Amino acid sequence: MHEPPRPGMVVQVGAAASVQFAGRRALLFRVTRVSERPTYHGWCWLTGYTLDEYGEAVVRREIYVQFAGLRPIRRHPQKPKPGLAPPPRHRPSETGRPPARVPTGTPVGSR
């Protein structure tokens, strides 16, 4: 970016924006305010919210970043729709073998 983001924008904040957001500390950030405080050229104070993997606000923060290192996000992940949760994943037993089958119905030879 060549200018500070506008309120409402979602940006990826990583190492290019500030070393404190390198690696696993990178985050998605929804900007609510750009401060008017004087800063070094190319830097800005942003107020907004960190977002989870579904685009939901998690924590309100104020961050100091180089706006040239921010990456605008056009579409961020949406929250899954109710009732469309993925099926539960099967966990193998501790022995590594599939779980034993439990017979159902009338046992053979019991008539």
**Residue 30, strand partner residues:** 10, 49
Do the domain assignments include residue 7?
Answer: yes
Query: How many residues comprise the chain?
Result: 111
Closest CA to 12 of 67, 58, 54: 67
Cross-strand pairs, 10: 30
Q: What is the pLDDT of residue 9?
A: 94
Residue 33: the pLDDT is 96
Note whether residue 81 is domain-resident.
no
d(CA 46, CA 59): 14
The pLDDT score that the predictor gives to residue 20 is 94
Domain that holds residue 10: 1-34+49-76
Residues (pLDDT < 50) of the chain are none
Is residue 99 domain-resident?
no
| CA-based nearest residue to 21, from 75, 73, 64, 76 | 64
Counted domains in the chain: 1
pTM of this structure: 0.66
Separation CA 57–CA 50 (nearest Å): 6
Distance CA 56, CA 70 (A): 19
Total Cβ atoms within 10 A of residue 10 = 19
Kindly state whether residue 102 falls inside one of the protein's structural domains.
no
